[in-house]
Each structure stands twice: as C-alpha cells, then as structure tokens.
C-alpha cells in the first residue's frame, strides 16, 4: 500500500508539470470580433472624401466588380476627381490617363450636391460623354422610409 501511495504521488506530481497541449483560442476570437466591428463601422466612412448633400432617388443599385471613378460637384460648383479638385479643362485628360491603366472601359459615377444648379452637373456629364466615356451614372441617396 505504501508503494501505491508513492506511485500515486509521483504520478500527480509529474502531471502538474507537464506542458498543456491545448490552445486557448478565446483571446484570438475576442480580438477578431473587435476587428470585425471596427472594420464594419469604418468601411462606409472610407468610400468618398468630398462631402455633398446628394438628392434622394428610388432607383436600383448598379452592380459591378471594379471600383468606379467618382466625379463630385460640390455646393460651390468645384469639380473633384475622386478626392482631388480638378479644372474642367483637366478633367478629360486625367480620365483618359486613368482609363488607359485599367483593362476595360472605366465606369464613372457623378455625384452632385442637391443645392447646385442642374446645368452644372449636366455640363460635367456632357463633357465626360463627349470624351467617349459611355458608362456614366448619377449617384443619389436612397430615400428614407418613414415608419
């Protein structure tokens, strides 16, 4: 019986000092969930940098795989290509340079503030269309549904 107790003591003593072979993934899951929430919150804020008050429309969303070029006309009538202000005379050459680097024809989204003159947005669109770009679309906000 004494042998059995010593053997039991030595067995429990050796089991206390063995390395643990199981991986605790709880901290990993916690970090991944926090990152997921952070990216879900910040992703919509990274879409376009020029703030404009878009008009509301109930049209269907356009589907496409590549990111379109965005041209914005702000309340002062200034024209922006992505987030860079450009003059109307520079707009077409810059669009052509960007279109050459892409494989297919460039999709262009025109965003116009609702407070500016409709003619200013149409001038920008007709300039783009006259340059040979046919995939041009207007961007609007979806209307809010009242409950």
* pLDDT tens digits for range 35-93: 999 888 877 666 556 566 555 656 565 565 567 788 888 888 888 888 888 888 888 88
Residues 6+ apart with CB under 8 A from 140: 54, 55, 56, 57, 59
Stronger pLDDT, 18 or 34, i.e. the higher one: 34
Stronger pLDDT, 108 or 53, i.e. the higher one: 108
Cβ proximity of 75 and 116 under 8 Å: yes
Domains of the chain: 69-139 (3.30.420.270)
């Amino acid at each position: 019986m004494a042998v059995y107790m010593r053997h039991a003591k030595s067995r429990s003593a050796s089991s206390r000092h063995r390395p643990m072979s199981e991986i605790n993934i709880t901290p990993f899951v916690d970090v991944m969930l926090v990152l997921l929430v952070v990216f879900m919150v910040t992703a919509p804020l990274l879409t376009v940098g020029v703030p404009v008050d878009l008009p509301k429309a109930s049209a269907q969303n356009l589907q496409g795989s590549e990111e379109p070029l965005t041209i914005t006309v702000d309340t002062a009538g200034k024209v922006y290509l992505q987030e860079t202000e450009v003059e109307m005379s520079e707009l077409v050459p810059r669009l052509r340079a960007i279109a050459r680097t892409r494989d297919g024809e460039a999709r262009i989204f025109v965003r116009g503030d609702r407070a500016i003159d409709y003619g200013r947005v149409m001038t920008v669109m007709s300039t783009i269309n006259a340059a040979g770009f046919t995939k041009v679309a207007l961007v609007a906000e979806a209307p809010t549904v009242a409950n």
